[in-house]
Structure 1
């Protein structure tokens, strides 16, 4: 481990990432732990040495004795403070966080309030993980699926949504994130405030969004465009809304919300576009029957395999 980084940590100037790097190194072996505390003691000794050098100045005997006694007291206080400081830093960086996990089943949604007052709507088949309290420098939560955030503003502690491939960082704002695991799609749409979207694999790949803009993946790269249809985000009201969407895209939405597989054997229906809305709670059968009023097709279900065939 680089000693300069360790001393930077002892001074309280290390970043969260650097602190985590030291944490991983310490926990790798007992020898690393021994080195860590050895360097910590050396660091404390250097701090004390500054006062000891000053004590070498020739002064009357009684004053010198008084000075040495004062140095002893100061040394004890400093060591006590150092131990407390180490404990607080160790606690901040290394103490295991108690995490809450909330998962929403297919066809449902949920509304929760985080410890900082941030309001979150979770879409169907989505999972959020968050600490019982935000004690770190950033308020970090973990998302699989789709969620709408109304973040409580705190300039001292940015709010970070970590997904499988991208991080979304804000101070206080309203935005939607879609990042279902196992799917290539990713989207962040901003309604209010400002957000920064950063690739977890390529940190230099960053995009800052303004209100009514969205970031999405195209050919593996983040792109930006205007939000064309805000009804798309009315899912938090329990609605699945479409505007000039192909049947293929609609079926993908049904797959996402209801946790099923839809196989389209009737290719003739792929040429149609559809505008409308459904309630998630009405179920996929109801939605398909409504579509049959405008487009001719039949369908059958294999409940055991959870597959719907469009014929």
Structure 2
């Protein structure tokens, strides 16, 4: 079995698409390494991370022996792709160093629609920044993102499109997806609406593919920043350990992209997280008289254009509270 066939087969297993016959091939392939000098020995931390990803979310009953075998094969897989990921990320960084960037930003309470020279449409949420090359479309298409944007990338096979954030680089040819990367939150998220994207995570030396209705979160495990919002869907895969936690899960794309339609949609969201969204959307400061109110949870879908007063009135029908507006300050009582 050549390298590409092995990688393709292992990806099918990790995505739970492998047939019993293919799993047996993978198992035999692992055994073939036991007759030769060891090629790669994962340490306990790597093995533990791989098992967390492969075993708990597979939905299958797997023997302890097979678990460790698959972990060993997966570790070999990581070793094979690590150099490729590093080279890909290094090339993007080298290109960035020679670029003159054009910057577009939005303030709190502001949103913008941008059309790049190649026809790519970008919607920017509040407090976001978009950087793109001054000579965009004359070279490989690259943009840098801070904050939250929705991208409808113009299809061009000869010029792949790269989105660079603090924790991940997203590679596409033409598709629709959302990216969220607010610095104070301590995590980066991307949600795929249609098509397919490949995501490189340099710090973790990993490369993942996303399919429609999947969300990928990369969070700093040692950060004091805000935790990533929870969803009601079960997680498909988790890789923990090291400086970052990586979460891949199914998600409701309507909720993830509701801001594009001027809709505020929340699912089991804390009042603290919700207040931060209101601050960005309406350019206000939200203050809680009772700190415990920050931990209240809300599920709601509201029209943002109705204004912050009506939004808060609707929320107060779910959990009893009062609010008072003093200039730009909204006091929750």
TM-score category of the 2 structures, normalised to the smaller one: 0.5 to 0.7
Superposition pairs for residues 77-88 of structure 1, below 5 Å?
A: none
Q: 1:127 aligns with which of 115, 126, 129?
A: 129
Report how far residue 137 of structure 1 moved. 4.6
Look up the match of 2:166: 164
Under a length normalisation based on structure 1, what TM-score does the superposition of the two structures give?
0.62
Q: Are 1:190 and 1:210, in contact at CA under 8 Å, matched by a contact in 2?
A: yes
Mapped partners of 1:100, 1:166: distance in 2: 21
Report how far residue 197 of structure 1 moved. 2.0
Look up the match of 2:108: 106
Q: Are 1:269 and 1:297, in contact at CA under 8 Å, matched by a contact in 2?
A: no
Structure 2: tracts of 5 or more residues without a match: 1-86, 222-243
Look up the match of 2:245: 221
Deviations 1:198-219 (A, max 9, x none): 234x261322211110101353
Compared CA separation, residues 18 and 290, structure 1 to 2 (3 A): closer
Look up the match of 1:209: 210
Under a length normalisation based on structure 2, what TM-score does the superposition of the two structures give?
0.58
After TM superposition, the structure 1 stretch with the greater mean CA deviation from structure 2, 274-283 or 114-123, is 274-283
Q: Are 1:162 and 1:168, in contact at CA under 8 Å, matched by a contact in 2?
A: yes
Mapped partners of 2:107, 2:96: distance in 1: 36
Q: Which SS does the other structure have where 1:161 is aligned?
A: strand
Compared CA separation, residues 207 and 152, structure 1 to 2 (3 A): same
Superposition pairs for residues 207-286 of structure 1, below 5 Å?
A: 207-218=208-219, 219=221, 220-228=244-252, 230-267=254-291, 269=293, 272-286=296-310
Mapped partners of 2:291, 2:90: distance in 1: 51
- Computing the radius of gyration from Cα coordinates, the structure with the larger value is 1
Q: Which SS does the other structure have where 2:183 is aligned?
A: coil
Q: Are 1:108 and 1:280, in contact at CA under 8 Å, matched by a contact in 2?
A: no
Report how far residue 261 of structure 1 moved. 4.2
Compared CA separation, residues 210 and 298, structure 1 to 2 (3 A): same
Deviations 1:145-198 (A, max 9, x none): 111111112222211111122211111111000001232132100011111222
Look up the match of 1:140: 142
Report how far residue 297 of structure 1 moved. 1.8
Mapped partners of 1:299, 1:141: distance in 2: 40
1:310 equivalenced with 2:310 (yes/no): no
1:176 equivalenced with 2:178 (yes/no): yes
Q: Which has the higher contact order (CA 8 A, sep 6+)?
A: 2
Look up the match of 2:29: none
Q: Which SS does the other structure have where 2:187 is aligned?
A: coil
Look up the match of 1:287: 311
Look up the match of 1:196: 198
Q: Are 1:109 and 1:236, in contact at CA under 8 Å, matched by a contact in 2?
A: no
1:187 equivalenced with 2:189 (yes/no): yes
Compared CA separation, residues 246 and 133, structure 1 to 2 (3 A): same
Report how far residue 268 of structure 1 moved. 5.6
Report how far residue 265 of structure 1 moved. 3.5
Report how far residue 300 of structure 1 moved. 4.0
Mapped partners of 2:332, 2:318: distance in 1: 15
Superposition pairs for residues 35-114 of structure 1, below 5 Å?
A: 97=100, 99-114=101-116
